[in-house]
Amino acid sequence: MRATLTFLGSGTSMGVPTLGCPCAVCRDAAEPGSKNRRTRPSVRLEFGGHTVLIDTGPDFHAQALRENVTRVDAVFYTHHHADHILGMDDLRPLTFKNTADLPLYADEATAAVIRRVFDYTFRTVDRYPTSARVELHTLPQEAGAYVAVFGAHFQRIPVIHGREIITGYRFGSAAYITDMSDLAPESIALLQGLDILILDALRREPHPSHSHLDNSIRLVELLKPKRAYFTHMSHDLDHEATEAILPPHIRLAYDGLQLDFDIAPTVNSEAAR
């Protein structure tokens, strides 16, 4: 089954342009159509007539208008930081159109924060009447465990994000690994044989909780996907200048970029448990 992935956002938590920053990249990002304009990180997957999101950040409303997101059938969350969850409330009008509650999937730690931040949505007593009609499911915790939705498997890929272990996802021949300072050792085997690898690459200099350019290039060389795209980028990386120094199979994502790939059958089914 073929799928289309759209980058709703490719920027770091502060977005590009970064508020109050006069740098050349931020100035360029303010121009219409600039590939340096990066909203908060999220992707949309379309396959078999269904739409699945990974994360709903604070820019989700604008991203959904830009990319004509008119339905959502499931959302997978990577972790609890604001740049990944704060758009959950903007799912409301889309959930009113669905016949059943919209399933949200998150690991235990992420689900706990979503429940706390959007307490009025999940309250069973005295629930706010026009809250999002969502149902929060906890992901199985083991590396490589998967949830099957609409004929595709979403596998949990544990990744290290500073002092936390958060969730990356593999779905068929593609993987989305945002917010990562390193891969968990058990995840290396789960990321073999990829067509597309999407990886965090925040900036040029090392950072305590994010991968930097050289480290992400090293991981691409280790995992050997056919193509790799970097995301969660700050204003430190100018789109054109950075792509010019990258090998041709590694590109920078940009808002609105679309990629086609096989989401099923699961390529590493022997690794899927």
Residue number with CB closer to Zn ion (23 or 147): 23
Alpha-carbon Rg for the chain in angstroms: 18
| Shortest distance, position 16 Cβ to Zn ion, whole Å | 7
**Token pair for residue 56?**
């709903």
**Helix, strand, coil share of the chain (percent; to 5):** 25, 30, 45
| Shortest distance, position 196 Cβ to Zn ion, whole Å | 20
Cβ-based neighbour number of residue 93 at 10 Å: 12
Can you tell me the distance from the alpha carbon of 145 to that of 272, in angstroms, rounded to the nearest whole number?
6
Do the Cβ atoms of 189 and 270 come closer than 8 Å? no
Can you tell me the distance from the alpha carbon of 164 to that of 262, in angstroms, rounded to the nearest whole number?
31
**How far, in Å, are 68, 127, 243 from residue 91 at the CA level?**
13, 17, 34
Tell me which residues touch Zn ion (CB under 5 A). 13, 18, 21, 23, 26, 81, 83, 179, 235
**Token pair for residue 2?**
């073929």
Cα dihedral sign for 259, 170, 206, 221? Answer: negative
Do the Cβ atoms of 139 and 171 come closer than 8 Å? no
Q: Residue 52: CB partners within 8 Å, gap ≥ 6?
A: 44, 45, 46, 72, 73, 74, 75, 76, 149, 150, 152, 154
Residue number with CB closer to Zn ion (73 or 83): 83
Residue number with CB closer to Zn ion (38 or 81): 81
| Shortest distance, position 148 Cβ to Zn ion, whole Å | 27
